[in-house]
Structure 1
Amino acid sequence: MFVLAVTLDFMDDIRLASIFRPENQFKAWTNIISIDETAITLEALFQREQALPGVIIEENNQSRILLSRRVFLAVISRPFGREVFLKRPLRELIVSAKPETLILSEDTPLSVACRAALARCDSNRFEPFIMMSGASAFIIELADLLLAQADALEKTVFEKSLLAETATQTASDLKQALQEQHQLAEELERARTLAEYDATHDSLTGLLNRKGFFAEMRAAMAAKASGRGPDYGLLFLDLDRFKLINDSLGHHRGNELLIQVAERLSALATRCNPSARQDASSQDKCIVGRHSGDEFVLLQSIDEDPDAILKTAQTLLASLTAPYMLGGKPYTVGVSIGLVSALSHYQDHEPALRDADIAMYEAKRHKEQPIVRFESPMHKTVERRVELEAELREAVQRNELVLHYQPIIDTFTGDVFAYEGLLRWQRERDIVPPSEFISVAEETGLINEIGLHVMRSACHWMKSHTQKGGNANSLVSLNISAVQLANTELPAQLEAICLNEAVPTSRFILEVTEQSAMSYPERSLNILEDLKQRGFRLALDDFGTGYSSLSWLHKYPFDLLKVDRSLIAGVGQTANSEKMAAGILHLSKILGLHVIAEGVERLSQKQTLNETGFQLMQGYHFGRPAPSWPIEASQF
């Protein structure tokens, strides 16, 4: 591109100061912004002042750089330009853009100014420039400068032909520049549209995020309230044991799982939306979003069918609990679903979400009922659990959590083989059983802190009991929850307590249930082997209530097997119970496991179990859990 600058002697007498005055038709801009401001501030300024050609970037009130609107739009319209620069200081954008600034004095002749402006390279030729007037700086558009030149040229006849040629070329160049600016503006608008989409959608799954879903909820509730739309039911979904998959397989596999869950949710939403079915009513609608982490939410219109939301929940349960392929292997997860029947019962979206969340946690606590409809009395249950959580935290600080010990007897010798430490909450007036607070401790993560407190207490009791003359070879058995078993730091933490208290790890039996050990076998195996290497003895507790698969036992480093009371209850009364007990004992011995019969409450049970070959027993027949045991009671 080439533009001819005509220079006439008479134009040397025309100074820039005489052209760009407030009373003249040509405007001079004075917008100044600090180099440390963010680019998004400048974008807002350009949006407010559409005619503003550029701004003066000032650093330390000294150096000045002219950044034009065109250059700014060009930089942020690059791929990822908005993400990179908008929230960063202008200093970084300047480094990337490398703008060239032309600064002229107000005393500069018009001809010299035109020649200087048009002598710039093609990429900067049509950029505005700075005119200095004393300490003040003004932004001048090239178009205005050229128009001033045109006005001067019009005063002479003998330059008319050359003036026409120059004006035509300039107009063409300006038109092209304006077209380029218009194109950049369109690209900026597309980028803004994309940013608005990103603001309301989850980047991983493509579903609506919290902001987007909440907006849909508010719109749906407003439409229903004004009689313009249907009523909706609400589902709140949470994946069970997602954290274990995420931790054991890695976050990338966890993300794969979330994406597959979102795809199944989207497929269901597509099927129930009007555009997907010829027989669908215009009132049918299904909206899906990702609330956070492994939590998802869904709205379902219910005017045509009040039970539609429950049917959708049942369909989702079947879909989301089907196996997922992660890394070429199938994995399954559970789903807990909370249901709110109708949004029309609420004035705002937040209480509806809260109640659906409450119902979801009820479903999570009652595994046999994965779909729970919210009911008003659940508020009191939640309030009580919140109170219980606060009291439990205080109980940990006040050492109100104590151990009661129940003996495990070697019935062949009458000696105490071990004492099982059973956790109790000793409040001022009563004892809270573990069934009321262990689930709260697991949900809040307090169980890990409580577990370490239990180990310290057991160490203190063991040393005290031995010093008073108790059997120095007796063991203490402690229960490990599923949450603790997921903690990879558990083995080192328990060992450190034993070392600090000078109690050998070999004097402890750590009990885990079948469900805890088998839910994620590989993860459990690693932690159990670590515990075993540190000297702890391991017991599989409540055998017979979970998977009941003896084939698994040889893979795990268990030392003992505790047969659940449900299998022992009929011993001495039915032949089948005795045969089952004998079979478990025989196979356990083949695997090298010691066997403990739990729940022995009658003398006839003890005698029959002895005849069957059982040596180690535990139950009310020998003693109930107590804070301490007298030394003389060590024979049974």
Structure 2
Amino acid sequence: GRPMQADGRIVGFVTSYTDITENKAREAALAEKNELLQTLADNLPCGVSIFDKDLHLVLMNDEAIRLLGFTRALVDQRPHFADLARFNAERGEYGAVDVERFVAELTAKARNPTPHHMERVRPNGVVIDLVGAPIPHGGFVTIYSDVTEQRQAAQAIERLAHHDTLTGLANRYTLEARLDQLVADARRHGRRLAVLFLDMDNFKGINDSLGHGVGDEFLRITAQRLRETVRENDIVARLGGDEFVVVLPEVHQPEHALRVASKLLDRLSQPIELSEHTLHASTSIGICFYPQDGQDRGSLMQSADIAMYQAKSMGKGVYRCFDATMMEVAARRAKLERALKQAVAQQAFAVHYQPLLDGRSGQVLGLEALIRWEHSAGQWIAPLDFIPLAEELGLINQIGEWVLHTACAALAGWHRQGLNHLTLSVNLSAVQLRNPQLPAQIAQVLQTHTLPAGALTLEVTESVAMQDPLASVQRLAQIRALGVRLAMDDFGTGYSSLAYLQRLPLDYLKLDRTFVRDLETNPNDAAICTATIGLAHHLGLAVVAEGVETPGQRDFLAGLACDMCQGYLFSRPLSHSAATQWLLAAADTDRTAH
């Protein structure tokens, strides 16, 4: 309204009226939509923020505020992007930067947003996964996810690939990779290196009399003493059990290696005070040199190992250098080779079966097929002792195909007895995995025994899969295309890469028994089991725990939602007839229970 004047006097007023009903309705509708949008955002499991085309904050939910360390009061001011960037820079979120220059650069990027995906680690250790995208009419939206636990689990698993979990030393596969490189360098530059193979003489007695807890602590202290006795650039690794290897990369004279061996014997012979016990340690050391005792990693390790056993035979607590007279070992190996070839020709093997049970219900889901070789009456040879030899001799494909046929025939028989739900797991060796005919062989076996492909699971170890990762991905994908399931065996003990782990077409990870064994008493093993199962489930993989021997282990794993378990708590590996009786009895028990 405004007044009307005439001759300088107000004689009335004029008022105009505008219908703003529609405007108010639009404002109310917009407010309702904004409130609905904010409510929706606040109930998302991730953080979200939206900036408009002028780079003013339009929306940020509570999860984003928590992750970014902002306050509701700050966000409610609808600040400009530059103000939030400056706030972050001044409190050190981006490290040591020139604040104004950094803010200007960040703001310039925000004015021309493009789709992006990145990770940001905040000073408090929180790891945020950010996914951003421009909005069609200007501005951009960002999604924030807290991936701290996943990254910590990944780091833990990555560490497993390189280090022995008990001692923190390099593990077998790290040792092999580094020794390969050192041999290549020594060959190129005409250098000499030494390999020392150590075995603790009385460890088994300590373990048997005082328990695994004391034994593990003994090994940890031994590893620490080893590391303290040698140079920083010398390699110290634990192969497993009570076996260690020290590699001296540059040895100008053999006497240097002998002095190191003497120092190690002296240091490791000193008593260890542990759990009210005084442990008197003793060590046997075998020494070999490149190039005279071996031209590659395998021959050097073999020569050092032979020399170590010679040292043990001399009374223990001494070192011995490799020499040609120790080749008696090679003669014994030749005898074993002949026996193995004969066993393959006569198919003188047996397949035993160990049940796999549901981790929560206890229902029998399947079995793992395990090859056994009775070399002579009552003398059984472990697969670890003859499978590598069979690979070297080119016999493993014959053995593997026989095991697959025999095990699938057994499974087909159990299906005919009404146990149709059972599945079967069979191990693959490195040589088998490299065989281009393997997928066709598997398909033929399934057809011969009229088994569905999903009833068969093939297991490969980490070390096998990682020998040639690209080839493994290709071959396993061909097998997976048949409908056969795939598992990675002994997970956590090998030299795996998480990048390739995600690429392998796996269905299961098998948690190695070394981590299950002490999870009730060892917080580290419990943490490793927790991290591994969490990582596997995050990757969409089921988990099978090996070596479950106590109800406590079973209950702990069930609490982590471990999918399947196997171990002596449920059953030892059984012959075909014994496994059949066990399965039928279990089925009767299950029917009675229901």
Specify the structure having the higher radius of gyration (Cα): 1
With normalisation by structure 2, the TM-score equals 0.46
Query: What is the TM-score when the length of structure 1 is the normalising length?
Result: 0.43
